[in-house]
Structure 1
Amino acid sequence: MTAEAYPLQWPTGRARTERWRREPAPFDVTFARARDDIVREVELLTGTRHYGDAYVVISTNTALARDGLPLAGQRQPDDPGVAVYFTYKKRQMSFACDRWTKIEDNMRAISKTIEALRSIARWGTGDMLEAAFTGFEALPAPGAVRAWWEVLGVARHATKDEITQAYRRAAMDAHPDRGGSHDRMAELTRARDEGMRDK
């Protein structure tokens, strides 16, 4: 599991709710109950019961208890977002919510979402569950660096010529002068340089 429980590590590429759009939730749940419900729902979904193990990470801006889960009884932070990371059928999954004004309500929304997805499997439509889960596959954690061959979209054993060609094709779209971004261009350049060093 690559995500950290504290501070909040929001999944890369997931939109955030603007602060002024957050609202009180319709839930009536305590912090501890909401946190424990997430753990329970993940256990039921994955069939994993490893207490004290890092099979699920609940990432928030609240202090952690000894077991690595968010500690109840803390002041609400300015950012009430919650991101949950776990492994399902050897795939890293992430669920995130920051729609509500309280952390416990965002945790509740995530546990209810997982519960709803579990019901899809219960009613014999597992293929729909697999399709639904493709949108929750975790992207790399913030700050994580992808392998050079993934960035360039080539095989790991690509030749220098293939690396150069892939870089040039990708750079045409990624260059800031053509509507791309400096970050994407820097990522491509790093990947090309690493690939060339590997060869």
Structure 2
Amino acid sequence: MKGLDVQMGFPLQWPNGRPRTADRKPALFRAGGSPLTMTTARRRLTEQLSAMTRPGQTWRTTDIIVTTNIRYTASGGRDQKFSRRDPDDPGVALYFSLDRKPHVLACDKWDSVQDNIGAIAAHIDALRGQERWGVADLRQAFAGHVALPRPTPWWEVLRTDATASLEQIHSAYRAAAKHAHPNAGGDRAAWDRLSSAYEEAKRGKT
């Protein structure tokens, strides 16, 4: 069985209707006696997600994406060209499928992205404990975190970058509209998604 595929997504896609934390605090998560780094936090989360599947079996966790306000390069490293400073909003939202059902875990209680990732990893470990202790199986343990699939953000619909300029957004919309419009043989649902994404993108840039 190959390694678990955990993608890092930008920007943060906080679950709809989930309250945000106003007064964040430093966390006490440690790795070898030292504060968590992004590397150790991501490793800890990957280990917990991997442990949800018994060795030799097909992955129970798929479609994993960790959304934060830190941008990563295609090779998996932090994109220093985008920003060298930590984001003002350290929230983390983990989207994944468990036995083909979408789930989401989100945390913004702590004042750093790595500690919020560490908190999610610790939460998964606690839920896994219910199965280990015979209290509930994994699906029962995660029942409170079943969610709608991750919403497709406007930049993926328009096939642009999340930091695209208003001019780039207009250009991408015009190019997509040529094929998506119902008068051009496009699908009505696809046209509605494109139009909604375009309006959302413009609101975010004005």
Q: State the TM bucket, normalised to the shorter chain.
A: 0.5 to 0.7
Q: Of the candidates 90, 102, 108, which is equivalent to residue 98 of structure 1?
A: 108
- The structure with the larger Rg is 1
The alignment status of 1:86 with 2:90, answered yes or no, reads no
Q: 1:2-38 deviations in whole A, cap 9, x for unaligned?
A: x9811111112211112xx111111221111101211
Query: 2:8 & 2:45 partners in 1: Cα distance?
Result: 16
**More helix as a share of residues:** 1
CA spacing shift, 1:49–1:25, aligned 2, 3 Å: farther
Deviation at residue 65 of structure 1 after TM alignment: 3.5
Q: Of the candidates 22, 36, 41, which is equivalent to residue 34 of structure 1?
A: 41
Q: 1:77-123 deviations in whole A, cap 9, x for unaligned?
A: 01100011111111111110000110000000000000111111111
CA spacing shift, 1:132–1:39, aligned 2, 3 Å: same
Scaled by the length of structure 2, what TM-score is found?
A: 0.57
Seq. identity, %: 39
Query: 2:77 & 2:142 partners in 1: Cα distance?
Result: 25
User: Where does structure 2 lack aligned partners over 5 or more consecutive residues?
Assistant: 1-6, 30-34, 154-191, 193-206
Deviation at residue 140 of structure 1 after TM alignment: 4.3
Query: 1:72 & 1:4 partners in 2: Cα distance?
Result: 12
The alignment status of 1:57 with 2:65, answered yes or no, reads yes
How many equivalent residue pairs?
Answer: 137
Query: 2:77 & 2:117 partners in 1: Cα distance?
Result: 11
| Paired residue type of 1:22 | R
Residue aligning to 1:108: 118
User: Where does structure 1 lack aligned partners over 5 or more consecutive residues?
Assistant: 145-189, 191-199
Residue aligning to 2:197: none
